[in-house]
Amino acid sequence: MRAIGIGAILLVLCLAMSAETVVAQKYGKSWDPMAVQRGEYLADEDFNKLSFEEGASYCQAMQEALDSKKKRFQNIGTEKDRYQTEVSRLRKQVANLDEQIGDLKSAVAAMERKYGPYRNKAFSHTVVRGEYLSMIAAYDQIYGDTMKWPRLYRANRDQIEDPDLIYPDQDLKVPHGYPQYHLVVQDEFLSKIANYWEIYDDGREWPRIYEANKDQIRDPDLVYPDLVLTIPR
């Protein structure tokens, strides 16, 4: 009973001591102030062995440790609330993106069903008076783009000598889709072929064609007419 009474008295007295006394006695030799910060506390019997000044210093260290933990607790709570708000916002965004993905999948599937049977098929167009290749290429049912006329020319070299001259009643092939093969013609080279919009639309992609056709291309700077090249996708 006596030991408990002394400990209680020390605990009360330490709270009543002035700040100057506490600071002066804080680093007593009987206990390690850093131990309190680490959560290593004195047993009751060890506390009861402290002098009055040491007990007061120990109490102050305990109070500082408690205040520090309370502050950290509050900061963590605030940080948690902030993250929870951010998580809620991100979840809403994810749900919205999932909905968009679902809509796009449905749209793609519908387009595949409609367009799939016609992919890579060649249609035809009968030239009428006043038409020219860029004009034909601009039709929605052709390519919808005047700049894509060279593909019409390439597909109809057998009947078009000059791309600026086409004639009424000519039946032009209109290839669609992206070809898996390319038939080399006179004056073509790999970067030129790669630059065709239906191939890669970028001449710098020519190594892809070369790598896919090494079995028949010894020198990438030399390709010959009538060579059938595989176009990797």
Of 63, 9, 3, 55, give the one whose Cα is nearest residue 36.
63
**Which of helix, strand or coil describes residue 26?**
coil
Stated length of the chain: 233
What are the beta bridge partners of residue 183?
228
pLDDT value for 26: 40
What are the beta bridge partners of residue 122?
175
Cα-based angle 82, 84, 86 (whole degrees, multiple of 5):
70
Question: Which two three-digit tokens encode residue 165?
Answer: 């001259």
- Give me the sign of the Cα torsion angle 180, 186, 189, 193: negative
pTM: 0.49
Please give the Cα distance from 186 to 172 (Å, whole number): 21
pLDDT value for 18: 36
The CATH number assigned to the domain with range 118-230 reads 3.10.350.10
**Which of helix, strand or coil describes residue 133?**
helix
pLDDT tens-digit profile, the chain (233 residues): 344 444 444 444 444 433 333 333 343 445 676 777 777 778 888 778 888 888 888 888 888 888 888 888 889 888 898 999 999 999 999 999 999 999 998 888 888 777 666 655 668 999 999 999 999 999 998 999 999 999 999 999 999 999 999 999 999 999 988 999 999 999 999 999 999 999 999 999 999 999 999 999 999 999 999 999 999 98
Please give the Cα distance from 178 to 194 (Å, whole number): 12
pLDDT value for 219: 95
pLDDT value for 14: 46
Please give the Cα distance from 190 to 14 (Å, whole number): 89
pLDDT value for 115: 67
Of 121, 7, 117, give the one whose Cα is nearest residue 54.
7
Please give the Cα distance from 210 to 192 (Å, whole number): 13
pLDDT value for 120: 57
Domain boundaries, the chain: 2-70, 118-230
CB of 228 closer than 8 Å to CB of 182:
yes
User: Mapped to the 3 state alphabet, what secondary structure does 178-205 carry?
Assistant: CCCEEECCCCCCHHHHHHCCCCCCCHHH
